[in-house]
């Protein structure tokens, strides 16, 4: 089989890349070893994070570093045996989190974040997936008066981005979320983001749109990627595929392809977990709620209340470790009347992250016809459609809607 463009990876980024390439007239094959949306795209918190204009930086305050170092926090956990392996990457992440470099990363990411909801709306309408979306925003909750005051002061600096939000005192928070309990001081209700009740189903809905529009969806092993003459080849269940161009959009598995080709891109992995819970009779969670101090998200989903954890640093293939989930669950039960667990075991996902907090989007500098679109960290769901659009504009030779230079793979040379 032959196509103009082969997209490797059927997560949200790969599916959206395929859709946008299809829209500009490319014949596209989308290939994955599994069904669309079964990897990292399946298990996130379901936030289309229009308000995340400042990337998640590495902490720099000594007191905070000390707390994390003790490895007792609910928001972050690490495997002691993995630390020597990940330490160089963490050091680069720490360097890139200095105030000036964080500001640079924020400027680079802003054009993508600003269009995140718009681009999702366009695809959701075409794919008949708007029923999975809610436009209620999400609530950032606080139990400590001092930390809440700092958060409110910091939030005011976001006014220059034109974001809509409401600061809630304890009474207003109770009115907005009547079934929350505990000593909650207040919260910040971010109004611009949207939420998704089933991120995996959304990805599969976008993939179905790709197929309805004439795209080909196949299973195969992306690790078989190789050059043959001036084309690219991959082995699939339907035989060998030949393509003029290929896009690596495999999220955390992207390194399995670019490293053998000689690219030294520092792609790191932040692991994370989720579990679904029933609600107690007569109660309902109205919004996605982020416990800012404990570092987890409670989100109303199609399956139940999804608790999504923060960051775990451990070998990508290491067995799941429930300690972080158990810590978050214990805190969450003091906040909301969670019922029984609905999943037989926790879901484990892997977020693909670059130390400078921006993805790699664009051509591979040393191989004709090879393109990258990976490294979206905590915001793959948020950025999938807009980054798919940017990649398609670059591959078509038209003027992109924003300067793609900050996302170039050449920045790691």
Model confidence pLDDT, tens digit, residues 198-239: 999 999 999 999 999 999 999 999 999 999 988 999 999 999
Q: Where are the domains of the chain?
A: 1-57+97-131+196-267+354-413
Q: Which two tokens stand for residue 208?
A: 């179905």
Give me the pLDDT at residue 230, please. Answer: 87
Give me the pLDDT at residue 40, please. Answer: 87
Q: Which fold has domain 1-57+97-131+196-267+354-413?
A: FAD/NAD(P)-binding domain (3.50.50)
Q: How much is the average pLDDT of 59-85?
A: 94
CA distance 318 to 23: 39
Q: How much is the average pLDDT of 47-68?
A: 93
Alpha-carbon separation of residue 31 from 96, 234, 247 (angstroms): 34, 9, 10
- What 3-state class would DSSP assign to 239? strand
Q: Which two tokens stand for residue 60?
A: 């720099």
- For 6-29, write each residue's pLDDT tens digit: 999 999 999 999 999 999 999 999
Phi, psi of 216 (to 5 degrees): -115, 125
Q: Is the pLDDT of residue 314 over 90?
A: yes
Q: Is the pLDDT of residue 156 over 90?
A: no
CA distance 16 to 383: 10
Q: Is the pLDDT of residue 157 over 90?
A: no
pLDDT above 90 coverage of the chain, percent: 94
With bands split at pLDDT 50, 70 and 90, how would you rate the model's confidence at 131? very high
Give yes or no for a contact between 168 and 139, defined as CB atoms under 8 angstroms apart. yes
With bands split at pLDDT 50, 70 and 90, how would you rate the model's confidence at 402? very high
Give me the pLDDT at residue 118, please. Answer: 97
Give me the pLDDT at residue 208, please. Answer: 98
CA distance 145 to 152: 10
Query: Cβ contacts of residue 196 below 8 Å, gap of 6+?
Result: 46, 47, 48, 132, 133, 134, 202, 381
- For 342-368, write each residue's pLDDT tens digit: 999 999 999 999 999 999 999 999 999
Query: Cβ contacts of residue 167 below 8 Å, gap of 6+?
Result: 152, 155, 186, 187, 188, 189
CA-nearest of 259, 258, 254 to 269 is 254
Give yes or no for a contact between 133 and 124, defined as CB atoms under 8 angstroms apart. yes
Characterize 33-53 residue by residue with b for buried, 16 or more Cβ atoms within 10 angstroms of its Cβ, and e for exposed: beebbbbbbbbbbbbbbbbbb
Give yes or no for a contact between 337 and 279, defined as CB atoms under 8 angstroms apart. yes
- What 3-state class would DSSP assign to 369? coil
Give me the pLDDT at residue 229, please. Answer: 86
- For 265-300, write each residue's pLDDT tens digit: 999 999 999 999 998 999 999 999 999 999 999 999
pTM: 0.96
């Amino acid at each position: 089989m032959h196509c103009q463009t082969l997209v490797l990876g059927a997560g949200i980024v790969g599916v959206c890349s395929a859709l946008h390439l299809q829209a500009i007239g490319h014949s596209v094959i989308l290939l994955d070893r599994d069904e669309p949306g079964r990897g990292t795209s399946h298990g996130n918190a379901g936030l289309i994070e229009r308000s995340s204009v400042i990337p998640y930086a590495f902490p720099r305050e000594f007191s905070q570093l000390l707390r994390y170092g003790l490895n007792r926090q609910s928001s972050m956990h690490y495997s002691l045996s993995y630390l020597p392996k990940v330490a160089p990457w963490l050091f680069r992440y720490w360097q890139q989190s200095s105030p000036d470099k964080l500001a640079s990363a924020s400027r680079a990411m802003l054009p993508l974040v600003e269009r995140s909801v718009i681009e999702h709306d366009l695809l959701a309408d075409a794919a008949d997936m708007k029923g999975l979306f809610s436009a209620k925003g999400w609530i950032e909750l606080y139990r400590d008066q001092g930390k809440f005051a700092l958060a409110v002061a910091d939030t005011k600096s976001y006014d220059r981005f034109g974001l809509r939000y409401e600061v809630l005192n304890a009474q207003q928070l109770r009115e907005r979320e009547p079934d929350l309990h505990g000593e909650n001081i207040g919260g910040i209700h971010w109004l611009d983001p949207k939420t998704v009740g089933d991120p995996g189903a959304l990805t599969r809905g976008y993939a179905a749109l790709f197929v309805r529009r004439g795209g080909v969806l196949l299973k195969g092993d992306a690790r078989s990627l190789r050059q043959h003459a001036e084309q690219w080849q991959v082995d699939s269940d339907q035989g060998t595929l030949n393509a003029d161009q290929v896009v690596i959009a495999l999220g955390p598995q992207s390194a399995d392809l670019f490293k053998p080709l000689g690219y030294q891109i520092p792609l790191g992995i932040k692991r994370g977990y989720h579990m679904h819970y029933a609600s107690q009779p007569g109660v309902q969670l109205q919004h996605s709620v982020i416990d800012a101090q404990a570092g987890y998200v409670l989100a109303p989903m199609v399956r139940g209340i999804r608790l999504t954890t923060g960051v775990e640093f451990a070998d990508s293939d290491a067995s799941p470790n429930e300690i972080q989930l158990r810590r978050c669950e214990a805190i969450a039960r003091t906040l909301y009347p969670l019922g029984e667990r609905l999943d037989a075991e926790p879901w484990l996902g892997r977020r693909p992250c670059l130390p400078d907090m921006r993805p790699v989007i664009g051509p591979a500098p040393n191989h004709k016809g090879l393109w990258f679109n990976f490294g979206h960290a905590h915001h793959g769901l948020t950025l999938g459609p807009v980054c798919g659009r940017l990649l398609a504009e670059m591959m078509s030779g038209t003027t992109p809607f924003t300067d793609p230079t900050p996302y170039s793979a050449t920045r790691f040379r």
